[in-house]
Amino acid sequence: MQKYFFICVILITLNALDNGLGRKPPMGWNPWNKYGCNINEEIVRQTADALVSTGLAAAGYIYLNLDDCWQSARDPVTKKIIADPIKFPSGIPSLVQYVHSKGLKFGLYSDAGMQTCEGKPGSLGYEEIDAETYSEWDIDYLKYDNCHTDGTSPKVRYPPMSAALMKQSKKIYFSMCEWGLEKPWLWAPPIANSWRTTGDISDHWYSFIAILEEQANLAQYAGPGQWNDPDMLEVGNGGMKTHEYQAHFALWAILKAPLLIGCDITNMSQDTKKILMNREVIAVNQDSLGKQATRVKKVLTSEVWAAEVADNGAGVVAVLFNQASIQESITIEFDKLGISGAQNVRDLINQVDLGQSTVSYTCQVPGRSAVMVKFRSVQSEQ
């Protein structure tokens, strides 16, 4: 029997948030990377339709989340949050009902400050009434940002919303977005289902690899119900090339990151759709073990990230990643993966078997690209 020594890192678990959610990384859509504040009810309805018609929902992308700028004010009497009447004339409950009718889940955004990042009403001091409102509206997911605060620590400002959500009959996935400022992986598991580990991603190569670098030592803090979040996907937004987006997606998948699409899915290219709907890459992200990849090798601009998986045949998945602009040969030695003997090798991106390998595996990786392979013991399959 193989032993995967490289992932024998003790999972540093504070007890995960006990709401029964997030046993696998969430998958869905968020408008911010594409639309920013220019979001409205029509876009949301069209996106809900597209999630279903394109097959994205069937592939696992079931959360349709709003980001900043959906809200406009608080009721002067009840203090309840009010949706922007121009952008969302039907109101949030009606929109939630429409999204739910498609078999999807609906998420909202707020902020652990007096205002959101775009100056809309925040939830600081209004945690109880906002949590009650979200529950009444049948919300499934809350992204909680970190702008315009009172200067207190996120460790003080985030627990009240978590506690308020936990009081509700409707269980709501809680996504903390404090940008990794106070190392939330060390204290957030009892509070949230996931937490951002960095600042915002941008749609260019150097933003992607800078954020990737910050994930290198975080695997031991992730697992079912508690996920590191390196921010949303930029795939399909146009700032990177197809092979760069493929690398972005493969690495986010093996990092067990929430896979939240950030492009206009009503107008996707075939390349974008192929990346986002690759069932074998998605399966790595959604694997029942929930083990985030560790970086097991780095030589200059070449690196290998790997994780043990259990589903679709137990084994080890590795991403061989070339950051250089020219093709490089990358070798991963099996002892770095904790495996030995003959291994069946499968290319998960192209979904083809590559034969067998022993001792190590080498491939030519084009510039700014990734190869994602799965190793399974030949002996275990006999």
Tokens (6 digits) for 238: 């146009």
Please give the Cα distance from 264 to 174 (Å, whole number): 24
CA separation for the pair 278, 346 (Å, rounded)? 14
What is the SS3 assignment for the chain?
A: CCCCHHHCCCCCCCCCCCCCCCCCCCEEECCHHHHCCCCCHHHHHHHHHHHHHCCCCCCCCCEEECCCCCEEEECCCCCCEEECCCCCCCCHHHHHHHHHHCCCEEEEEEECCCECCCCCECCCCCHHHHHHHHHHCCCCEEEEECCCCCCCCHHHHHHHHHHHHHCCCCCCEEEECCCCCCCHHHCCCCCCCEEECCCCCCCCHHHHHHHHHCCCCCHHHCECCEEEECCCCCCCCCCCCHHHHHHHHHHHHHCCCCEEECCCHHHCCHHHHHHHCCHHHHHHHCCCCCCCCEEEEEECCEEEEEEEECCCCCEEEEEEEECCCCCEEEEEEHHHHCCCCCEEEEECCCCEEEEEECCEEEEEECCCEEEEEEEEECHHHC
> How far is Cα 123 from Cα 97, in angstroms, rounded to an integer?
24
Provide the β-strand partners of residue 196. Answer: 229
Does the active-site annotation cover 200?
yes
39 burial (CB, 10 Å; 0-12 / 13-18 / 19+) is buried
Nearest CA among 114, 236, 229 for reference residue 175:
229
Catalytic choice (68, 145, 203, 264):
145
Whether residue 145 lies in the annotated active site: yes
Active site residues: 145, 200
